[in-house]
Structures are given as structure tokens and as C-alpha cells.
Structure 1
């Protein structure tokens, strides 16, 4: 089975499962999948049932959704499409990193393997997209990014930004304006106060709502 043999919405769910589990390291809750794909939970449940019938996912009560080996193969193919397209839009067409997600979501269902290979070669075979997410190679190999969410960094600790989830354009614009981008070094001078965490990036101090901390993955230390 090729990923293009699946309906667009099934492709979306496979990619969403991969993305959620990539950040959490566990299974993907049905409610979060529904939110990412923009559907009701009941609709998401039916979509997951169809994927399970194809042998692409497994769902256990109270434990969320996991990809089977075949489902992982197809999900990685979709992730590769999405992240290469985001990188192309930024590097070749001067998109900003907060603009690319929506257009990549549309384009990823239409590109051929040949077109994607040409983009990959044109870009010099990048291994990370503009948000720091690893780009799977043509054989489906994916760099494993070690790290924790910014929420796990305690008072007085320092860290380097690795990945930032691309689903919230407003958060991405805010972070870019304040230098919180992949590769940036930051320190956490104190604990969250009133739902807001203060971090220092160079000489600048930035406040980030606790609701956005899980979208930022960092490596501890200098």
C-alpha cells in the first residue's frame, strides 16, 4: 500500500498520530487527534476504526491510539511530505515559519514521490524543517530528537531549543519576535507565576504562557 492510496483524511490522521506520539513518547489520545484534524471526537473514532480495520493502527481502551509497523511506514511518508514542503516554502518562496503549516497541509496530499525527491535534492537533503522537526529520509529513517518540553525545565536551569510545534501560528510569531527559535539558548530564572513562565534568551526576557510550554521541546544544559 502506498500512502496516496488512502483518502486525504486518513493521511491526516496517520500524520497526526505520528506527531502526537513523537512529542509525548506514548500513545495518542483520541480527543487530541480529533482536535488536530479538526473533527469531532465521534468522527475521529470512526476514522480510527477504519484505519484499524486496514491494520494501520491499534487502539486500546483508555490508552489511546498507536501506529502498527505498516501504519508507521505510511505516517512517516506523510511527515516527510509535510516537513519537506514547509522547508521548501520557507527557503524558496520566503514564507515565514508561522505561514507554512496550512499550505503544506494542502500540498502534501497532491505531491508525487518524484516531485518530493526533486524538492529534497533542491534543498540539499535537509534533516530539520523550519520548526526544528526532523525530516524523515527517503528510506523512512528519522532522527530521534532527545529532549523534554520546556515545562520540565526548572528554576535556574538552562536549555537549548530543539523543536517547536507548528500548529499555533500566533505562538510561532510571538516566539520568533523574541528569539525563541530552534538553536536558541535560554535560561529559566524562576517558576511560573499566574500561568506564565519567564525565560531569558540572551539579554532579553520573554514571558510564555504555560499552555504553550508543551509545544516547545528543549535539550537541558548549555
Structure 2
């Protein structure tokens, strides 16, 4: 039997499916505000169709975008102008990276696909002195505050989808059709482990089931 609450959630689910929007791209401009006006080589981990890599290229000397999905990397190459200083590769984020070090490393909605501690340690090792690591990740709801934020995000998610699509039914962006895996770490666990690996890291819980992490290499 469908209850009023479950009926509402089903209706919201149908509405959101008809008015999709990219929750990760929502944070791209915020990411750019964490970075210098100009910098050397940059790495975008889990680059998808390359939206953030191309944005980084407006300030970076060169950008490496890496992803394990061959089809989505091929699409990123198609979407990137030939004169843009961006190179894409089908690469394991924990394997050998295209360059030994980077002034900027970004990782959006990809860290929960990787061994958390190992990945942060790997990124720290490849971040140049004075470099910046920026992560936008997913957290799993564990606490009353988590569930409250999740509940608050549901109507905002629907309203944002409506506004971004100007009320029209739309198809999901290509970056939203790649296989995904749910997050398993709670925010408190993420903060504890991140600060153990990256002392002084700044983490914040965000709307739309995301958190942010910023860390500067000494």
C-alpha cells in the first residue's frame, strides 16, 4: 500500500528524472574560487566529459584529465577544442599518473569509488609544494544532522532542476549517465581520516549530498 509520504517521494523521483541536472558541475565555480588566478600543471581525477578540466585550462599551463571509463574519455576528447591545453587518459587514479607532480589536483564525485586513505595519500604524494587539492565528494547519511540535510535537499533539488531546465523535460547530461556507486563513509569518518592523512584539511558538509575538502601542501 502506498502511503502519502512514499507517494510524495515517488512523485518527486519522477519529477527529478524529468528535470535532471548535474550536482557535481554545480560546484565547479566554487572549486575555481579555491584556486590561484594562474598555476602550472593540474590533474582532474574522474574527469568524466571534461567540463572541469576545460575550466581548469582557463588558468592552468596544462591539464591532465583521467578517468577509467573509455567511452566517457572519448566524449571528453570530442568536446574539447584542439587548441586547449588538456590531455585525457584512461588511467587508474592510484596508478602511475601522467606527470610526477601537480600544482592543482581536483577530484569530484570520484573519491568514494577509491580506497579513501590510499587515494588521499597518493594525491598528497603527487601534489607540488604550495599546491592545492580540492575534493567534492559524497557522504553517507548516518546522523540526525545528515538526514535533516538530506531532507532539506529534496525540495531544493527539485526546484533547482526546474530552474536549470527552464521548466522543460530534459535528458540527463552525459556525465550523469556513467555507472555510479553509493558512498559508504559517513561525514564524521571522512573528516577524521582525511585530517589524519592531510593535517589542516578544511572539510564542510554541503547540500545535495556532497562534502568539500580543501588542502594546501606546505
Scaled by the length of structure 1, the TM-score of the pair is 0.25
Structure scoring higher RCO (CA < 8 A, sep ≥ 6) equals 2
The structure in which a higher percent of residues are helix is: 1
Scaled by the length of structure 2, the TM-score of the pair is 0.25
